[in-house]
Amino acid sequence: MATAHSRALARLMVSPAVILLLLWMIVPLGMTIYFSFLRYNLLMPGMESWTGFDNYYYFVTQASFWVALKNTLMLVLGVLCITVIGGILLALLLNQPFFGQGIVRVMVIAPFFVMPTVSALVWKNFFMNPVNGMFAHIAKALGMQPFDFFAQMPLGSIILIVAWSWLPFATLILLTALQSLDSEQMEAAEMDGAGWMSRFYHLTLPHLTRSITVVILIQTIFLLSVFAEILVTTNGGPGNASTNLPYLVYQQSLLSFDVGGGSAGGIIAVILANIVAIFLMRMIGKNLDA
Amino acid sequence: MARKTSQTQRMVVTIAAWTIGFLIFLPILWTIILSFKTEGDAIKTPLEVLSAPWTTASYAEVQSRSNYAGHFMNSVIISVGSTIIALIIAIPAAWAMAFQPGKRTKDLLMWMLSTKMMPAVGVLIPIYLLFRDFGLLDTRIGLTVIMTLINLPIVIWMLYTYFREIPSEILEASRMDGASLKNEILYVLTPMAVPGIASTMLLNVILAWNEAFWTLQLTTSKAAPLTQFIASYSSPEGLFYAKLSAASTMAIAPILILGWFSQKQLVRGLTFGAVK
Amino acid sequence: EELTIATVNNGDMIIMQKLSPEWEKATGNKINWVILEENVLRQRVTTDIATKGGQFDVMTIGSYEAPIWGKAGWLLPLDDLGEGYDYPDLIPSVAAGLSADGKLMAVPFYAESSFTMYRKDLFDAAGLTMPEQPTYADIAGFAEKLTDKSKEQYGICLRGKPGWGENMAFLGTLVNTNGGQWFDMDWKPQIESEAWKTAINWYVDAMTKYGPPGAVNNGYNENLSLFQTGKCAIWIDATSSAGRVYDPNQSQVSDKVSFTAAPQATSPEGSAWFWAWSLAIPASSTKAEAAKSFINWATSKDYIKLVGEKDGWVAVPPGTRLSTYALPEYQKAAPFAATVLDAIQSADPAKPTKDPVPYTGIQYVAIPEFQGIGTFVGQQIAAALAGQTTVDAALQASQAYATTEMTRSGYIK
Amino acid sequence: MGQITLTKVRKAFGEAEVIPGIDLQINDGEFVVFVGPSGCGKSTLLRLIAGLEDITSGKIEIDGREATNAAPAERGLAMVFQSYALYPHMSVRKNIAFPLKMAGMSDADQTAKVENAARILNLTNYLDRRPGQLSGGQRQRVAIGRAIVREPAAFLFDEPLSNLDAALRVTMRQEITELHHNLKTTMIYVTHDQVEAMTMADKIVVLQAGRVEQVGSPLELYNEPANLFVAGFIGSPKMNFVTGEHAARHGAATIGVRPEHVDVTPDGIWEGRVILAEHLGSDTFLKVDTRDVGEMTVRVSGEMRLGHGDTVRLQPRPDRIYRFAEDGKALK
Amino acid sequence: MGQITLTKVRKAFGEAEVIPGIDLQINDGEFVVFVGPSGCGKSTLLRLIAGLEDITSGKIEIDGREATNAAPAERGLAMVFQSYALYPHMSVRKNIAFPLKMAGMSDADQTAKVENAARILNLTNYLDRRPGQLSGGQRQRVAIGRAIVREPAAFLFDEPLSNLDAALRVTMRQEITELHHNLKTTMIYVTHDQVEAMTMADKIVVLQAGRVEQVGSPLELYNEPANLFVAGFIGSPKMNFVTGEHAARHGAATIGVRPEHVDVTPDGIWEGRVILAEHLGSDTFLKVDTRDVGEMTVRVSGEMRLGHGDTVRLQPRPDRIYRFAEDGKALK
Ligand SMILES: Nc1ncnc2c1ncn2[C@@H]1O[C@H](COP(=O)(O)OP(=O)(O)OP(=O)(O)O)[C@@H](O)[C@H]1O
Ligand SMILES: Nc1ncnc2c1ncn2[C@@H]1O[C@H](COP(=O)(O)OP(=O)(O)OP(=O)(O)O)[C@@H](O)[C@H]1O
Ligand SMILES: [Mg+2]
Ligand SMILES: [Mg+2]
pLDDT bracket for residue A55 (50, 70, 90): confident
pLDDT bracket for residue C153 (50, 70, 90): confident
pLDDT bracket for residue D19 (50, 70, 90): very high
Q: Does B195 touch chain D (CB under 8 A)?
A: no
Tallying the residues shown for chain C, one arrives at 413
Averaged pLDDT, D208-214:
92
pLDDT of residue B1: 42
C-beta separation of A36 from B115 below 8 A: no
Task: Kindly report, residue by residue over C47-78, the tens digit of the pLDDT.
Answer: 888 888 888 899 999 888 888 888 888 888 88
Cβ of A206 and E87 within 8 Å?
A: yes
Cβ of D301 and E260 within 8 Å?
A: yes
Q: Does E11 contact ligand 2 (Cβ within 6 A)?
A: no
Q: Which of D226, D242, D281, D285 is nearest to D260 (CA)?
A: D285
pLDDT of residue E93: 93
Contacts of E146 in chain A (CB under 8 A): 188, 192
C-beta separation of D55 from D10 below 8 A: yes
Q: Whole-angstrom Cα distance, residue B49 to residue B242?
A: 11
Query: How many C-beta atoms surround the C-beta of residue A195 within 10 A?
Result: 13
pLDDT of residue E299: 92
Give the distance (Å) from ligand 2 centre to CA of residue B87.
43
CA angle, corner E256, sides to E253 and E262, nearest 5?
140
Give the distance (Å) from ligand 1 centre to CA of residue A4.
18
C332 burial (CB, 10 Å; 0-12 / 13-18 / 19+) is exposed
C-beta separation of B151 from B82 below 8 A: yes
When the pLDDT of each residue in chain D is averaged and rounded to a whole number, the result is 89
Ligand 1 nearest-atom number relative to CA D41: 18
Q: Do chains A and C touch (3 or more CB pairs under 8 A)?
A: yes
pLDDT at D120 over 50: yes
Contacts of C47 in chain A (CB under 8 A): 42, 254, 257
pLDDT at A277 over 80: no
pLDDT of residue D154: 93
| pLDDT-wise least confident of A52-61, B199-208, C223-232, E25-34 | A52-61
Query: How many C-beta atoms surround the C-beta of residue B101 within 10 A?
Result: 16
pLDDT of residue A1: 47
pLDDT at C115 over 60: yes
> What stretches of C15-170 adopt beta strand conformation (E)?
30-36, 58-61, 99-100, 103-104, 107-119, 154-157
Task: Kindly report, residue by residue over C206-228, the tens digit of the pLDDT.
Answer: 999 898 888 888 888 888 888 88
When the pLDDT of each residue in chain E is averaged and rounded to a whole number, the result is 89
pLDDT of residue E221: 92
Question: How would you classify residue A253: left for phi > 0, otherwise alpha for psi between -120 and 50, otherwise beta?
Answer: alpha
Q: Whole-angstrom Cα distance, residue D281 to residue E225?
A: 12
Give the contacts of B165 (CB within 8 A, at least 6 positions apart): none
Protein residue closest via CA to atom 12 of ligand 2: E18
The chains in contact with chain A, meaning 3 or more Cβ pairs closer than 8 Å, are B, C, D, E
Q: Does B95 touch chain A (CB under 8 A)?
A: yes
Sequence letter at residue C337:
A
Percentage of residues of chain C with pLDDT beyond 70: 100
Averaged pLDDT, D205-233:
92
Task: Kindly report, residue by residue over B57-80, the tens digit of the pLDDT.
Answer: 888 888 887 788 888 999 999 999
ipTM score:
0.83
Q: Which of E220, E224, E226, E179 is nearest to E202 (CA)?
A: E220
Q: Whole-angstrom Cα distance, residue C177 to residue C354?
A: 8
CA nearest to E283 within chain D: D260
Q: Whole-angstrom Cα distance, residue B83 to residue B90?
A: 10
Contacts of D71 in chain A (CB under 8 A): 5
pLDDT of residue A233: 84
pLDDT of residue D257: 93
Beta bridge partners of D26: D4
Instruction: Say which residue, C338 or A80, is predicted with more confidence.
Output: A80
Contacts of C55 in chain B (CB under 8 A): 137-138, 220
Q: Does E87 contact ligand 2 (Cβ within 6 A)?
A: no
B113 burial (CB, 10 Å; 0-12 / 13-18 / 19+) is buried
Task: Kindly report, residue by residue over E261-273, the tens digit of the pLDDT.
Answer: 999 999 888 999 9
pLDDT at A288 over 70: no
CA nearest to B167 within chain D: D85
The chains in contact with chain D, meaning 3 or more Cβ pairs closer than 8 Å, are A, B, E
C-beta separation of E198 from E35 below 8 A: no
Q: Which of C407, C393, C367, C361 is nearest to C175 (CA)?
A: C361
Task: Kindly report, residue by residue over D54-74, the tens digit of the pLDDT.
Answer: 899 999 999 988 988 888 888
Averaged pLDDT, E36-62:
90
Pairing relationship of beta strands C2-8 and C30-36 according to DSSP bridges: parallel
- Global pTM reads 0.85
pLDDT bracket for residue D225 (50, 70, 90): very high
Distance to chain D for A11, nearest Cα, Å: 17
Q: In Å, what is the CA distance from B24 to each residue of B29, B202, D189, D306?
A: 10, 22, 60, 72
Q: List own/partner pairs for B43-48 with CB under 8 A and 24 or more apart.
A: B43/A132, B43/B239, B43/B241, B43/C229, B45/A137, B45/A140, B45/A141, B46/A134, B46/A137, B46/A138
pLDDT bracket for residue B237 (50, 70, 90): low
pLDDT at E227 over 90: yes
C-beta separation of D74 from D14 below 8 A: no
Hey, which of E9, E13, E48, E192 would you mutate to test ligand 2's pocket, going by the most ligand atoms within 8 Å of its Cβ? E13
B135 burial (CB, 10 Å; 0-12 / 13-18 / 19+) is exposed
Q: How far is CA A261 from the centre of its chain?
A: 25
**Exposure b/e, C215-234, CB count within 10 A at least 16 = b:** bbbbbbbbbbbbbbbbbbbb
Secondary structure class of A55 (helix, strand, coil): helix
C-beta separation of E55 from E21 below 8 A: no
Instruction: Say which residue, B50 or A90, is predicted with more confidence.
Output: A90
Sequence letter at residue E177:
T
Q: Whole-angstrom Cα distance, residue E165 to residue D193?
A: 9
| pLDDT-wise least confident of A114-118, A275-279, C196-200, C210-214 | A275-279
pLDDT at B144 over 70: yes
pLDDT of residue E71: 86
Give the distance (Å) from ligand 4 centre to CA of residue A20.
53
Max mean pLDDT among A54-58, C69-73, D40-44 falls in D40-44
pLDDT of residue E39: 86
pLDDT of residue B2: 45
